[in-house]
Amino acid sequence: MSILVTGGTGYIGSHTCVELIEKGQKVVILDNLSNSKASVVDSIEKITGVRPVFYEADLLDRAAIAKVFDENDIDSVIHFAGLKAVGESVAKPLEYYRNNITGTLNLLFEMRERKCFKLIFSSSATVYGKPASVPIREDFPLSTTNPYGTTKLFIERILQDLCVSDERFSVVLLRYFNPIGAHSSGLIGDDPNGIPNNLMPYITRVAKGVLPHLNIFGNDYETPDGTGVRDYIHVLDLASGHYAALKALSAPGVHIYNLGTGKGYSVLELVNAFERVTGVRIPYIIAPRRPGDIAECYADATKAYEELGWKATHTLDEMCESAWNFELAHK
């Protein structure tokens, strides 16, 4: 039996594929390569010694999904695939709703038809909107401040309704915070096409001289230094969280977990940590706030520890060091 990983050549997906393969799981990847590269499959093979089955396909193409199920014995699905930039989603809401929600519906129809009832969904802390307090627990009220977050919240609701209607389904919703860092090999990391939307690859490209300076979006938030505070989590910790979540799929219904460190760092604190670890200065300018961003967001991940035995173990310095090593080893 195999695990289908949609978006498996992307940043979090590729690290999760490595984790799964190293734990003895068979992996099949479906990815349209809109924000990743086919060479990631080669990198996964170099790290693990196993080449995952790979399909370049889009979830908007139902026939392509059917082909993957026809040719593989799929037991469960980890669903990463989707557009994921907050600012871009504000400018292109229709594209985000079509891609993320319609693609997920196509996947779910195919899963139901093939009697594949186990799904881990890559959700996001954006479903908490502007939280009334931090740290954020899974039972906090849900709302969103941007179309990207709304697609995640809509899909969560679709999955909850599905589980009510069909008790054969077992779904895990993993709400994660801000993944950074890279695999210790330097072979895979956060390597988006074009100008990065995520903070860390932006920092590493500035450090390398590819980009002239970092834009820090807003320094007038109600935080200690005015810049946004986020829960930065090493992508390897996030990957291990997906493996840990497999055990929750043994019970039907919906299971919800935050994956974070429980500690918030500001943008400037992250920049300072990167400079300290690497010895490279990061020039930056303060830009206007991005639409849809919030001041402060970090997790209470107690539930994941109590029920899955999972907790984040990597430090902020390790996140910075591994991200820089990936940038230096790359290109």
Catalytic residues, by residue number, are 148
Find all residues with CB under 8 Å of 161, minimum gap 6, and list them. Answer: none
**Please, what's the b/e burial string for 175-200 (b: 16 or more CB within 10 A of its CB; e: otherwise)?**
bbbbbbbbbeebbbbbbbeeebeebb
Give the single-character DSSP code of 166: -
Q: Which of 193, 331, 204 is nearest to 277 (CA)?
A: 204
Give residue for tokens 């107690």: 302
Residue with tokens 């984040």: 312
| Secondary structure percentages of the chain, helix, strand, coil, to 5 | 40, 20, 40
Name residue 207's beta-bridge partners. none
Helix axes 267-278, 316-329, angle to 10 degrees: 60
Place of tokens 């906090």: 140
